C-alpha cells in the first residue's frame, strides 16, 4: 500500500528550511566570531564552524533517508535529491553557502509537495502474450 504523504518528508523539508536560515547567517556569524577571537585570543570560530558543517551533514543524511523512503512509497525523488545536493554544497565548503541556499529553497518546496512519482504507468501495465507457442521452437509459426 502506497502512502500519499510521509512525515519524514515533512521533517526533512523543515530541516532544509532551517538549514537555509543557518547557511544565510553562517558567514556573518563566522566572521564576527573570528574578529572577536582575534581581539580576545579565544578559539570559538572552530566550534561555530563545526556546528554549521554538522547541520549540513545531518541534512545530507536525513535527505538520503527521505530519498530511500520516498522511493519505497512511490513519491517523487526531486526534493530529496536537491536536498542532498544543497546540504552537500555547504558541507564541502562554506564558500558555497549562496548556491546551497538556492538549491535548498527549491528542495524544500519539492519535498513538501510529496507528489506521486511519474513511473505510475510502469506499475499499471499488464502484458498479455497472444502468440502460438509450441514445445518445439522449429515448428513455431513465423
Which pLDDT value is given to residue 126?
45
Q: How far apart are CA 69 and CA 121, in angstroms?
A: 20
Q: How far apart are CA 23 and CA 89, in angstroms?
A: 11
* Number of other residues whose CB lies within 10 A of the CB of residue 121: 7
> What is the per-residue pLDDT across 1-29, written as a single tens digit (0 to 9) for each?
456 678 999 999 999 999 999 999 999 99
Task: Using DSSP, state whether 6 is helix, strand or coil.
Answer: coil
Q: How far apart are CA 105 and CA 125, in angstroms?
A: 36
* Number of other residues whose CB lies within 10 A of the CB of residue 85: 17
β-bridge mates for residue 116, sequence order: 75
pLDDT tens for the chain, 142 residues: list them. Answer: 456 678 999 999 999 999 999 999 999 998 898 888 888 877 888 888 899 999 999 999 999 999 999 999 988 899 999 999 999 999 999 899 899 999 999 999 999 988 887 755 444 444 455 555 566 666 655 5
Amino acid at each position: 500500500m502506497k502512502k500519499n504523504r510521509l512525515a519524514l518528508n515533512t521533517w526533512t523539508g523543515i530541516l532544509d528550511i532551517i538549514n537555509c536560515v543557518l547557511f544565510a547567517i553562517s558567514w556573518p556569524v563566522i566572521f564576527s566570531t573570528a574578529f572577536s577571537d582575534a581581539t580576545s585570543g579565544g578559539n570559538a570560530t572552530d566550534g561555530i564552524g563545526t556546528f554549521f558543517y554538522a547541520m549540513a551533514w545531518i541534512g545530507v543524511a536525513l535527505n538520503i533517508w527521505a530519498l530511500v523512503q520516498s522511493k519505497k512509497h512511490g513519491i517523487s525523488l526531486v526534493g530529496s535529491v536537491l536536498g542532498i545536493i544543497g546540504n552537500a554544497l555547504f558541507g564541502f565548503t562554506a564558500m558555497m553557502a549562496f548556491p546551497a541556499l538556492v538549491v535548498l529553497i527549491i528542495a524544500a518546496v519539492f519535498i513538501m509537495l510529496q507528489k506521486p512519482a511519474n513511473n505510475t504507468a510502469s506499475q499499471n501495465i499488464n502484458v498479455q502474450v497472444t502468440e502460438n507457442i509450441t514445445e518445439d521452437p522449429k515448428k513455431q509459426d513465423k
